[in-house]
Amino acid sequence: MIIPLPFFHLLVAVFYALGAVAHWKMSRSSSVAGIKSKYVWGFTLFTLALHACAVTRAIATPDGIDISLGNAISLVAFLCVLVAWAFGQMRALPGFASAILGGAALAALMPVVFAGSHRFLYATESWAALHIAIALSAYSLFFVAAVQALIMVGLEKRLHAGVTNDTRYTPPLLTLERYLFKLITLGFVLLTLTVISGLFFTEQVFGTPFELTHKSVFSILAWFVFGTLLVGRWRFGWRGRKALYWILVGTLFLVLAYLGSKLVLEVFLHR
């Protein structure tokens, strides 16, 4: 029996929410370990696989690739959880798994809330779909980096205040920072590919000449912000709150560039 797609999205959201609660309890209690933690991590991985199935069913339709607002948000959430799992932040940082899974629970419902469609044909618009896939992958990397930076600033404040109960089992902050900037560097490479394809290959990708829209402006602004951050890190050793501000501003520009534009076009203008 095939599960109806809206119920599938709801099921994924419920499982993510349960996983977020389980991870929060596990991070708060030192007694939850061993076999219990294995069950929690196994459940998280199962939910991620379930989300992959839901996203695939929603996006890969017989009529083409459906990158509507709801599907785009759900896909970014899936990629965020996947990146956080692959890079180890969910295990290394207290509260990170709960934050990322809680956000994914809300995002998994968006295909039901925003039930429009925005399809690209497999044969004639495959480059457009690839462009969007690279862009969404970059966004997910920066979203994960933003969450990690927020948690790291909180950990640093607790360390300075002499509170060490949440940081006993976490890697040193300098190690976490190196991983953070590796994440940002990878995201910057993908964002660069997105901006280049959008600026110079718009006609080949989308079939229309380049136009300076708010999407392209915010994308270029985000590229400039993250590029400046990486130069500042390399040249001046930017870290902590200074780096956090740049990460949050760049991430906000990305939200306004793609998801914000899709919200206006699909929800308010019905295009």
Residue pLDDT, tens place only, 107-143: 999 999 877 666 665 545 667 777 788 888 999 999 9
Average pLDDT over residues 200-229: 77
Please tell me the predicted confidence (pLDDT) of residue 201: 57
Average pLDDT over residues 77-82: 96
Domain ranges of the chain: 1-120, 125-271
Q: What is the pLDDT of residues 186-199, one digit of tens each?
A: 999 999 998 888 77
Please tell me the predicted confidence (pLDDT) of residue 221: 93
At residue 143's C-alpha, the angle toward residues 126 and 99, to 5°, is 125
Average pLDDT over residues 92-103: 90
CA-based Rg of the chain, rounded to a whole angstrom? 19
Please tell me the predicted confidence (pLDDT) of residue 239: 85
Sheet harboring 60-61: ordered strands across?
A: 60-61, 64-66, 119-120
For residue 186, give every residue at least 6 positions away whose Cβ sits within 8 Å of its Cβ, in sequence order, or none: 141
3: how many CB neighbours lie within 10 A of its CB? 14
- Tokens 């991070």 -> residue: 27
Measured distance CA(191)–CA(227) in Å, rounded: 10
Residue 210 has pLDDT above 90, yes or no: no
Please tell me the predicted confidence (pLDDT) of residue 32: 47
Residue 206 has pLDDT above 90, yes or no: no
pTM of this prediction? 0.86
Q: Which two tokens stand for residue 65?
A: 């690739």
Share the mean pLDDT of the chain: 82
Asked if residues 56 and 133 have their Cβ atoms less than 8 Å apart, the reply is: no
Residue 184 has pLDDT above 70, yes or no: yes
Q: Closest Cα to residue 225, out of 244, 199, 201?
A: 244
